[in-house]
Every structure is written in C-alpha cells, then in structure tokens.
C-alpha cells in the first residue's frame, strides 16, 4: 500500500511541476513579445494539453513505460518523487529543465539498481533525440526567419504585425497540444504501464494538475524563456517558436520523448544568432547547457543510490 501511495504522490507532484515549468514553452515568447497576457495564455494552455494527451499521448507512454524498461510499482514512486524535486528546484532557480531527461534518468537509475533489464537501444534513441531536436529547432527557426525576410517584407508593416501575432498564438496552441502528447505522456507512461491508473484517468487527472501548476508557479520560467535569453519581437518570436513546435511535433509523431523546453530554446538561439551573437546571453546559455548534461546524470545517480539503500 505504501508503494502505491508513493507512486501516486509522485504522479501528482510531478504533473504539477510540469505545468509550472512547461507553460513557458507554449506562451513564453508570446508573453515576452507582449502579445497576450499571462491569464489568457493559461486559458489556452490547459484545454489543449488535455486534447494532446488524449489524441496522441499513447506512443510516448509506451516508449517510457514499456520500451525503455518494464516499469513496476516498486521503482515508480522513487523515480517520480526524485524527478519532481529536481524539476521544482530548477524552476525555483528560474532555469528551464527537461522533464524527459529527469524522468528517463530516474527510471533508468532505479531500474538498473533493481535488476530490471533496461533496453540500451531505446536509451540510445532517446539520447540521440535529445541532441538532434534542439539543433533541428535551431535550423528550422533560422530558415523560417530567412524565408519571412524574403516574403513578408513586401507586405505593409501593420499587416505583417497582425499576421505574426496571430501565428504566434496559434503556434503556442500547437505547443500546448504537444505538451500533453509528449511532456505529460512522459510523466504518466510509467504509471499507466505499471497498472497504477488507467490511460483515461491519467490523461484527465494529469491535465488538471498541469494546469494548476501553470497557474501557481509558471511565471518564473516564462520570464527566462520569453525575455531572458535574447530580446524578441513578433517577427523573430514566431520563427523561434514555430521552429521549436515543428521539431516537437515530428518527434511526438515518432513516439520519442523530446524536450519541448530545449527545442524552444534552440529556436530562440537560432534567431538570436541572426540578430547577432552579441544579443544572446551566453552566460545563461552556458548554465542551460550545463543543466542539460547534469540533469539526467543527477537523476540517474540519485535514484540509483536511493533505490539501493531502500532495497
């Protein structure tokens, strides 16, 4: 009974902090460009997270809960609690963090200690996806920005501004959808395949908790993504956000758990390079890169040690 309770608490906690961390992915750029306010962004974010996990979350759930390793209740509680604490700590420090890296690292660490077979091929595919996806987003954003320079420059300024603002909101909605289909599915995949909750219960309950996390804690990371890396206007903001959204959607369709956070950051860096590297805060990027490397390693080590102690 205690193991089930720990697993449930872990699911609740991590879904909550996912909302606090990942709202910035969808609407951080919109808010940074002063297109919509925080409250309106929340009203768009919540419903599309639910739609995303209901329609397309099953593939990523299977990757995490079955393909990576056969998750059971005994390792699920420790893995999710450690993951939630690491994400919450990063959020408090105003640094975006990949929930996928934390969860995969935690589950793998607990699984290895418990003697459960971890599929090395699946681990390799996931790690390669982590590397390729932000680079792909950077390239997409770079190309989109160049294409817009060639085409939209012929239109009147006020029309371009209205068009870009509308497209930014629509792209934010797409990222909200993939947050459910990819981010939240990663969180709940282990719980579903361990038999803790049904897919429908996971989807409904998880979406509500993500929304509550967004309401209470997301403003800190939104400030970092929307304004902290480089100054964004609607033109560059759309290129960055759409580049990230396109990458996440492609990998979601393949069932690969990739980081929406780092895809959006990759897109922001891409347009920042076009505006001049002097406009990009390299000190903040170094911290994010260090976090990208250390996050899965810390999650793996903590869960490995904690599971070994408890066993």
H or E segment to which residue 177 belongs = helix 157-178
Start-to-end Cα distance in the chain: 17
* pLDDT for res 95: 64
**Predicted pLDDT of residue 226:** 47
| Alpha-carbon gap, residue 262 to 215, rounded angstroms | 22
Which pLDDT score is estimated for 124?
A: 93
Q: Determine the Cα–Cα distance for residues 205 and 61; give it in Å rounded to an integer.
A: 15
pLDDT tens for each residue of the chain, 311 residues long: 676 777 778 778 778 877 766 676 678 767 767 788 888 888 899 899 999 999 999 999 999 988 999 888 878 888 888 887 887 777 677 666 778 889 999 999 999 998 888 999 999 999 999 989 989 999 999 999 889 888 887 888 788 888 888 988 999 899 899 989 998 999 899 889 988 888 999 999 999 988 888 887 666 555 555 444 445 667 777 888 899 899 999 999 999 999 887 888 888 888 877 766 555 666 667 777 787 788 889 899 999 998 888 87
Distances (CA, A) of 188 to 140, 208, 293: 29, 13, 23
Partners of 118 in beta bridges: 69
Question: 47: closest CA among 140, 234, 173?
Answer: 173
Q: What is the pLDDT of residue 88?
A: 73
- pLDDT on residue 174: 92
Query: Tell me: the pLDDT tens digits for 268-297?
Result: 888 877 766 555 666 667 777 787 788 889
CA 155 to each of CA 149, 160, 237, 240, 270: distance values in angstroms, whole numbers, following the listed order? 11, 6, 18, 21, 24
Residues 21 and 221: beta-carbon distance below 8 Å: yes
Residues forming beta bridges with residue 69, ordered by sequence position: 118
How far apart CA 287 and CA 281 sit, in angstroms, is 10
Nearest C-alpha neighbor of 192 from the set 52, 60, 47, 19 = 60
Cβ neighbour number for residue 235 with a 10 Å cutoff: 19
Q: CA-to-CA distance for 301 and 113, rounded, in angstroms?
A: 10
Look-up of token digits 């974010």:
45
């Amino acid at each position: 009974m205690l193991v089930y309770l720990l697993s449930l608490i872990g699911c609740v906690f991590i879904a909550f902090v996912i909302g606090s961390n990942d709202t910035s992915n969808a609407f951080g750029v919109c808010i940074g460009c002063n297109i919509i306010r925080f409250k309106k962004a929340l009203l768009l974010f919540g419903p599309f997270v639910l739609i995303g996990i209901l329609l397309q979350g099953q593939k990523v759930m299977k990757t995490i809960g079955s393909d990576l390793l056969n998750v059971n209740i005994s390792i699920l509680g420790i893995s999710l609690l450690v993951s939630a604490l690491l994400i919450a700590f990063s959020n408090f420090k105003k640094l975006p963090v990949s929930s996928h890296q934390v969860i995969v690292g935690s589950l793998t660490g607990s699984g290895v200690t418990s003697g459960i077979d971890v599929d090395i091929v699946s681990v390799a595919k996931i790690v390669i996806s982590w590397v390729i996806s932000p680079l792909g987003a950077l390239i997409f954003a770079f190309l989109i920005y160049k294409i817009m320079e060639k085409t939209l420059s012929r239109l009147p300024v006020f029309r371009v501004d209205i068009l870009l603002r509308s497209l930014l909101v629509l792209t934010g909605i797409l990222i909200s959808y993939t947050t459910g289909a990819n981010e939240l599915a990663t969180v709940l995949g282990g719980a579903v395949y361990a038999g803790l909750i049904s897919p429908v219960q996971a989807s409904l309950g998880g979406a509500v908790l993500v929304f509550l996390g967004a309401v209470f804690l997301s403003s800190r990371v939104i400030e970092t993504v929307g304004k902290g890396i480089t100054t964004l206007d609607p033109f560059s903001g759309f290129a960055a956000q759409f580049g990230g959204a396109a990458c996440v959607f492609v990998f979601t369709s393949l069932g690969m758990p990739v980081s929406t956070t780092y895809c959006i950051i990759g897109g922001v860096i891409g347009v920042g390079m076009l505006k001049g590297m002097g406009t990009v805060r390299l000190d903040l990027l170094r911290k994010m890169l260090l976090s990208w490397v250390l996050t899965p390693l810390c999650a793996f080590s903590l869960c490995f040690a904690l599971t070994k102690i408890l066993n």
